[in-house]
Structure 1
Amino acid sequence: MALCPGILGESRVTSFRTNTDRLLEVRLQDEKVLAIAGAMVAYTGSIKFEKSLLGGEGIFGALKRKVTNEGMQVMQASGSGTVFFAQNAAEITVMALAGEKLTIESSSLLAYDTGLKTGTSFAGLRGASSGQGLFSTTVEGHGNLAVISRGNLIMLEVTPAHPLRVDPDAFVGFKGEIRQEFVFDVNWRTMIGQSSGESYQHKFTGQGVVFIQPAER
């Protein structure tokens, strides 16, 4: 995949690129990057690793996760050199946000620029049905982030004329002016006790894009 721009506007953004489709390469020049704890697989140069208590989301967001036992374990890498990240041989996609807001399943976030602000978003029945928990993670601002998925990440457009229904187990994230609704699909297989596997669906309406993976959790 192509290297994300190192500069968005006038602010400096850490360099993210995929070395392979399963290995993220982050180049630091006296900079910092946040990543899921345990995701570092190699590095060169002078890099310091330490636990990040808040992970960029503030005390309130961290407390909400703590109460529901859904805390993200985040580490900070700082210094000058190159750090390589990976997670369970998952596919990695690099995204650049330019003042946008992305809502993503916490388990799908691999690493992100310290210039990005993270928070929590109530996932409700979608998270409960997929086992992902009650809260999703929001990421917004200017900077790069890396997303992991089982198989290539797929982007599907949502428009007012074309709403989208997604299996909660395949859902990864979304951005744009999108509304969410949890729906039940009661079909003949469900009625006779043979679940189709699609009984629980998540409906997206509005304008934006939804990211899914070609596999279920």
Structure 2
Amino acid sequence: MSRYSIDEFIKQTKQQDKGEGFFELETPRMLEVNLAGQVWAKMGSMVSYRGQIKFEREGILEHGLGKLFKKALTGEGTSLMKANGNGKLYLADQGKKISILHLNNDSIYVNGNDLLAFETSLDWDIKMMRRVAGMMAGGLFNVKLDGAGMVAITSHYEPLTLLVTPDNPVITDPNATVAWSGSLQPEFVTDITLKTFFGRGSGESIQMKFAGEGFVVVQPFEEVYLAQQQ
């Protein structure tokens, strides 16, 4: 049947220029970067590229001693690579759904495992979650991004954004928490009754409590973070 021909397959799946700018969702799970300069991306996320592009692993001291020490202390599981050049770069991360955010002098926290790529115009810093160090596999860390530029984040399946207001705080499972607004500082709370009820290991009893004004993004999946060798 013609609907299953190679020509039809190519027609349905071929790359298309949508003219959306620097970051473009080629599919819901594939990010196209229209590169003319530099971009930061998660190590190992390159699927394909065309043009003249070079890749460099982030230098050990590229971001200063402060961030180096933080990475050592947090057992950070995500390394970055810098792509330089001109061309089209395609990024993906284990088939996770990709969301693009344009920060306009905003700030956002992203779970380190869910950060796919961001423009070099953005300032960023690693934030430690001291309360859960050693309490969860690999520990947890997040990256705060500030300024003007684009960032691509990933989630297992469709993300859900919950609004946080002073009279209506939100409590989440850390393993299902993807990102939150820069105005929020989560507090870690332990619920022994939940741990007993679910009977599912120490991680289940730890929750993140968001209070104030802002938003938090969650996914319908509990990710387990394993510390990797740098």
TM-score range, shorter chain: 0.7 to 0.9
Structure holding more helix per residue: 2
SS in 2 for 1:70: coil
What is the TM-score when the length of structure 2 is the normalising length?
Answer: 0.79
- Equivalent residue runs for 1:1-217 within 5 Å: 6=21, 15-29=22-36, 31-53=37-59, 57-70=63-76, 72-126=78-132, 128-187=134-193, 190=196, 194-195=199-200, 198-217=204-223
Which has the higher Rg, Structure 1 or Structure 2?
Answer: 2
Structure holding more strand per residue: 1
1:92 is displaced (CA, Å) by 0.8
1:70-107 deviation line (CA, Å, top 9, x unaligned): 26321111111110001111111111111112111111
- The separation in 2 between residues aligned to 1:51 and 1:115, in whole angstroms, is 18
Q: Single out whichever of 198-207 and 79-88 deviates more from structure 2.
A: 198-207
1:138 is displaced (CA, Å) by 1.1
The one-letter code matched in structure 1 to 2:89 is: V
1:148 is displaced (CA, Å) by 1.0
Gaps of 5+ in 1: 7-14
Task: Evaluate the alpha carbon distance shift between residue 94 and residue 183 of structure 1 in structure 2; reply closer, same or farther with a 3 A threshold.
Answer: same
What is the TM-score when the length of structure 1 is the normalising length?
Answer: 0.84
Q: Is the 8 A contact 2:194 2:204 kept in 1?
A: no
1:55 is displaced (CA, Å) by 9.4
Task: Evaluate the alpha carbon distance shift between residue 188 and residue 88 of structure 1 in structure 2; reply closer, same or farther with a 3 A threshold.
Answer: closer
- The separation in 2 between residues aligned to 1:78 and 1:37, in whole angstroms, is 14
Q: Is the 8 A contact 1:126 1:168 kept in 2?
A: no
Q: Is the 8 A contact 1:56 1:118 kept in 2?
A: no
The one-letter code matched in structure 1 to 2:131 is: L
SS in 2 for 1:190: helix
- The separation in 1 between residues aligned to 2:133 and 2:222, in whole angstroms, is 13
1:170 is displaced (CA, Å) by 0.5
The one-letter code matched in structure 1 to 2:185 is: R
1:39 is displaced (CA, Å) by 0.7
SS in 2 for 1:187: helix
- The separation in 2 between residues aligned to 1:154 and 1:114, in whole angstroms, is 27
- The separation in 1 between residues aligned to 2:63 and 2:33, in whole angstroms, is 21
- The separation in 2 between residues aligned to 1:45 and 1:189, in whole angstroms, is 52
1:198 is displaced (CA, Å) by 4.4
Task: Evaluate the alpha carbon distance shift between residue 64 and residue 206 of structure 1 in structure 2; reply closer, same or farther with a 3 A threshold.
Answer: same
- The separation in 2 between residues aligned to 1:62 and 1:189, in whole angstroms, is 35
1:112 is displaced (CA, Å) by 0.7
Gaps of 5+ in 2: 1-17, 224-230
Task: Evaluate the alpha carbon distance shift between residue 188 and residue 52 of structure 1 in structure 2; reply closer, same or farther with a 3 A threshold.
Answer: closer
The one-letter code matched in structure 1 to 2:116 is: L
Q: Is the 8 A contact 2:24 2:32 kept in 1?
A: yes
